Structure 1
Amino acid sequence: MTEAEFLAEYDPAAYERPALAVDLVLLGLRAGRLAALLLKRDQLPHGGRWALPGGFVGIDQTLDAAALHVLQEKAGIARAHLEQLYTFGALDRDPRMRIISVAYLALLPEADFAEALERSAALMPVTIAVSWPGETGGEVTALSPKGETLPLAFDHAAILAMAILRLRGKLDYSDVGFALLPEHFTLRQLQDVHEAVLGTTLNKPAFRRRMLDRGWLAPTGLREAGTSFRPAELYRFQPSR
């Protein structure tokens, strides 16, 4: 039998197939703390619970295209730093049927995070409360702006926890933290990002020396505006050569 003959006779319905979805962990800084954007489910299952923006992957869509579609159509955000986070495939993660979800990190600078909230009344900014230090991992809690614990749909608490763990793990050796900053930023803003992600206070001189020594920062020759004290120098990210 040739390959063409085999494919002509092949029955794709002979095997059960799970559904495939993408979920976006939309993260940014809000009032100096790491926050996520969630949507309240208005239908079953898990109606009334809070969920990450997500959707099913179309038969003619790539994973990246599906993630971008959710970002723009469900979250109302034109662009973000998107990267695959992890694949979640527990047998009981969704009561409807077997659904495998590919989660994406979607990182937003603070101004874009705030703008997304202005454009969509459906998005809720939640603070991610992390009880574990460093990269030990563990559970997280989503807190409303009033400090109330929000019930999360499906396994989205586990997805949020994985997002924090991945961010913490990559922050010191990759450029992922710069996705949470504007194009031009101060060293103070850069340290704010690291402290918000890591959940700890960093030594200012040591942090700045480490960042400058890596060759990631290029001076712009500009200084921040609108301050009542001596304006800080602005930098931009430059990839290491």
Structure 2
Amino acid sequence: MNKFYQGAEKLLVSVDCIIFGFQDNKLKLLIGKRKGEPGVGEWSLYGGFVRADENLKDAANRVLYECTGIDNIYMQQVGAFGKIDRDPGDRVISVAYCALINVGDYDASLMDRYGLMWAELDRLPPLYGDHIEMVQKALNQLREQISVKPLSFKLLPDLFTLTQLQHVHEAVLGEDIDKRNFRKRIKQIDYIEKTELIDKLTSKRGAALYRFNLKAYREAPKFNLK
């Protein structure tokens, strides 16, 4: 037994993963029904308790891999949630993490294994406990960051059209964007490169394909798309 902190109250720490997926020009949330008490049968984020041999990020990566089957997934910490009565089962402090994936990269067999589904953000069912607060905080963070960080490229193929890029921004922001102004701003950004390739699958007339240049992004002054 550790000789330090004897007599201090022990608390449970969990991670909850807010997994946003992009599909059909919409931002969706991965949720599932709780299989045990408290809240059995209620819709919930996917999460788990932090193990003794894990740091927070390791725990979040483990949980994300369990429910997505994807390694090296984009993830950022949203914040800690620790209201005394937030979990009727015990005193649990949860650290929420947000992840972004393209639904097309997702192993659909895991949905059946864990009883998960993709829910559209404007059609979410009631969520367990304070999970809706976690989702809203994560969404607010994304909306603040998408204009200054290359988050949208986590949801796009390596080669994409400007229309596809605009659809991602609109899905995250939850509003339409003026096409002309958006394209004008995009073409001023060095790290969004136009290629010589043409997309003839999603565009009848043929649209230029672009790509994200990570090296140019790291060297370029930060540009605001707002």
The bucket for the TM-score relative to the shorter chain is 0.7 to 0.9
Contact 2:191/2:212, CA 8 A, preserved across alignment:
yes
TM-score by length of 2: 0.87
Q: Among residues 18, 30, 50, which one is paired with 2:23 in the alignment?
A: 30
Q: Among residues 101, 108, 120, which one is paired with 2:111 in the alignment?
A: 120
Mapping of 1:38-187 within 5 angstroms? Answer: 38-112=31-105, 115-121=106-112, 122-129=115-122, 142=124, 150-187=125-162
* Higher relative contact order (CA closer than 8 Å, sequence separation 6+): 2
Mapping of 1:213-228 within 5 angstroms? Answer: 213-227=188-202
Kindly report the root-mean-square deviation, in angstroms, between the aligned alpha carbons of the 2 structures: 1.9
Unpaired runs of 5+ residues, structure 1, are: 1-7, 130-140, 143-149
Offset at residue 9 of structure 1 (A): 8.1
Unpaired runs of 5+ residues, structure 2, are: 220-226
Equivalents in 2 of 1:107, 1:204: separation in Å?
Answer: 24
Offset at residue 226 of structure 1 (A): 2.4
Q: Deviations over 1:200-221 (max 9, x none)?
A: 1111111011122122301232
Change (3 A) 1:76 1:51: farther
Contact 1:83/1:105, CA 8 A, preserved across alignment:
yes
Change (3 A) 1:77 1:50: farther
| Paired-residue identity, % | 38
Q: Deviations over 1:143-183 (max 9, x none)?
A: xxxxxxx2311211111111111110111111122212122
Equivalents in 2 of 1:9, 1:76: separation in Å?
Answer: 37
Deviates more, 1:15-24 or 1:185-194: 15-24
Contact 1:54/1:74, CA 8 A, preserved across alignment:
no
Contact 2:111/2:117, CA 8 A, preserved across alignment:
no
Provide the residue aligned with 1:207 in structure 2.
182
Q: Runs (4+) of structure 1 moved beyond 6 Å?
A: none
Equivalents in 1 of 2:150, 2:127: separation in Å?
Answer: 30
Offset at residue 79 of structure 1 (A): 4.2
Q: Deviations over 1:62-107 (max 9, x none)?
A: 1111111101124433442111111111111111121111111110
Equivalents in 2 of 1:84, 1:48: separation in Å?
Answer: 27
Change (3 A) 1:228 1:58: closer
Equivalents in 2 of 1:40, 1:209: separation in Å?
Answer: 44
Change (3 A) 1:123 1:174: same
